[in-house]
């Protein structure tokens, strides 16, 4: 089992867009080449095809940050799962704390993504909602306490019990789902702790996206992740 470092670009200006978006993609590609760790990149939809061009034919995966819970058709300004599949994406993040979905829609999107060959990384705010999501059988569930997101205070240090409780509650209802954590993850050390507490990897945003040198941060995280597993 390989560890996972998932990078949520969010919508930081200027970091998540344009040339910097591609620089993060090149960094991810290099780390994958050097370590084999699975890096998932989730750029803004407007950057998706350019980021995909950079990592083509590598093990780096590209996800949408969100998909709208509707069938394709007359839906101006919405992006159904088909939009991501047609662009060549490998999967989607769903239900991020900044873009919560209704429960019925989470279930609908997980099932439909599976039929379309797209992977799903579904976020939860607390261990109990993580377990509720695990019942719906996504590929990955990431538990992130919203109050720590963007703080630089890693969940693995501030609230390790969130991680251990998540693993315990989720495993009661689902043996297979990959468990990630996130919120405040800033360094390889935080990733190491997160994996030691029972997860397979992390969901990271500003620590990589706003980094002066994204390669250094991703590399550090990937190496420590390998050590921990």
Active-site residues, by number, are 96, 144
Is the previous residue joined to 119 through a cis bond, with omega within 30 degrees of 0? no
**Least spacing, CB of residue 29 vs a second copy, in Å:** 19
φ, ψ for residue 128 (rounded to 5)?
-65, -40
* DSSP-assigned letter for residue 16: T
Nearer to a second copy, 23 or 98 (CB): 98
Per CB under 8 A, the segment of 3-11, 30-38, 154-162, 187-195 that binds a second copy is: 3-11
**Residues 6 or more apart in contact with residue 130 via CB below 8 angstroms:** 124, 141, 143, 166, 169, 170, 179
Among 150, 171, 178, 187, binds a second copy (CB under 8 A): 150
Among 113, 121, 133, 202, binds a second copy (CB under 8 A): 133
**Least spacing, CB of residue 32 vs a second copy, in Å:** 23
How big is the site for a second copy, counted in residues (CB under 8 A)?
A: 65
Under the binding rule (CB under 8 A), the answer on residue 131 touching a second copy is yes
Under the binding rule (CB under 8 A), the answer on residue 172 touching a second copy is yes
CA distance linking residue 194 with residue 157, whole number of Å: 9
Among 1, 76, 175, 212, binds a second copy (CB under 8 A): 76
Burial 145-181 (b: 16+ CB within 10 A, else e): beebbeeebbbbeebbebbebbbebbeeebeebbbbb
Is 143 within 8 Å of 134 (Cβ atoms)?
Answer: no
Does an H or E element contain 221, and which?
helix 214-228
Per CB under 8 A, the segment of 28-36, 69-77, 155-163, 177-185 that binds a second copy is: 69-77
Residues 28-67 that bind a second copy (CB under 8 A): 42, 44-50, 64-66
Under the binding rule (CB under 8 A), the answer on residue 114 touching a second copy is no
Q: Which two tokens stand for residue 150?
A: 């963007």
CA distance linking residue 195 with residue 221, whole number of Å: 11
Q: Which residues bind a second copy (CB under 8 A)?
A: 8, 10-14, 16-18, 42, 44-50, 64-66, 72-80, 82-84, 86-87, 93, 95-107, 124-126, 128-129, 131-133, 135-136, 149-150, 169, 172-173, 205-206
């Amino acid at each position: 089992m390989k560890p996972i470092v998932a990078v949520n670009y969010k919508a930081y200006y200027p970091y998540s867009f344009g040339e910097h978006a591609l620089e993060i993609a090149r960094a991810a590609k290099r780390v994958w080449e050097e370590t084999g760790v699975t890096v998932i990149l989730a750029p803004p939809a407007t950057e998706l095809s350019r980021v995909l061009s950079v990592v083509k034919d590598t093990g780096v995966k590209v996800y949408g940050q969100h998909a709208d819970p509707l069938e394709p058709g007359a839906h101006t300004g919405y992006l159904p799962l088909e939009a991501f599949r047609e662009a060549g994406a490998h999967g989607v993040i769903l239900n991020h704390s900044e873009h919560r979905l209704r429960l019925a829609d989470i279930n609908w999107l997980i099932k439909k993504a599976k039929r379309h060959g797209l992977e799903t990384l579904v976020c939860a705010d607390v261990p109990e909602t993580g377990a509720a999501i695990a019942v719906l059988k996504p590929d990955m569930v990431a538990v992130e306490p919203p109050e720590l997101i963007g703080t630089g205070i890693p969940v693995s240090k501030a609230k390790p019990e969130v991680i251990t409780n998540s693993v315990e509650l989720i495993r009661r209802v689902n043996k297979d789902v990959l468990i990630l954590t996130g919120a405040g993850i800033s360094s390889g050390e935080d990733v190491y702790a997160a994996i030691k507490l029972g997860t397979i990897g992390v969901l990271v945003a500003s620590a990589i996206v706003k980094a002066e040198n994204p390669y250094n941060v991703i590399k550090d995280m990937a190496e420590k992740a390998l050590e921990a597993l």
